[in-house]
Amino acid sequence: MKAVFLALQEFHHFLAGHSVVVMSENTIIVAYIKKQGGTFSQHLSHLTVDILRWAEVHSVSISARFILGKWNVLSDNLSRTSQIMGSEWYLDYLVANKVLNLCGSLTVDLFATALNFWLPFCSPIPDPKALWQDAFQQ
């Protein structure tokens, strides 16, 4: 929970007036954010209240979503800049051309990054070149 709070504080200039989805494999953190506190840990409950007060002051709407650990590959790869993530896939140029010839033109790639896009794209991580972030929320 402390990491969530520190991250929010660090990026507060970008977050003001926006919604933030905290995605975590820690069910306790997700539950405390969703329920705006809890009874299991007084310390976590107080920290959650601090986060929610901070969010209100900075006009940030916070929600939480559980993400299964084996699907949380992004958190492990975000620190490795300029490297293709283990979750990234791309079509071979010849295969992509065959698919385009069969299907017609495509307008957007919902699962790409700045390292592997061919079309305007939706990125799983923050990227100024992307049309959107998180295709599943679109």
Tens of pLDDT, residue by residue over 116-131, are 777 888 887 777 888 8
Give the separation between CA 10 and CA 14, rounded to whole angstroms: 9
Using a cut of 0.75, tell me whether the model's pTM lies above it: no
Which pLDDT does position 84 carry in this prediction? 54
More confident residue, 114 or 55: 55
Distance of CA 54 to the CA centre of its chain: 20
Which pLDDT does position 51 carry in this prediction? 93
Structure confidence by residue, pLDDT tens digits, 31-86? 999 988 887 889 999 999 999 999 999 999 999 988 876 566 666 555 555 555 55
Radius of gyration of the chain (CA): 18
Chain position carrying tokens 């990125």: 123
Tell me the mean pLDDT in the region 100-127: 79
- Assess whether pLDDT exceeds 60 at residue 17: yes
**Domain limits of the chain?**
2-69, 82-137
The DSSP bridge partners found for residue 63 are 21
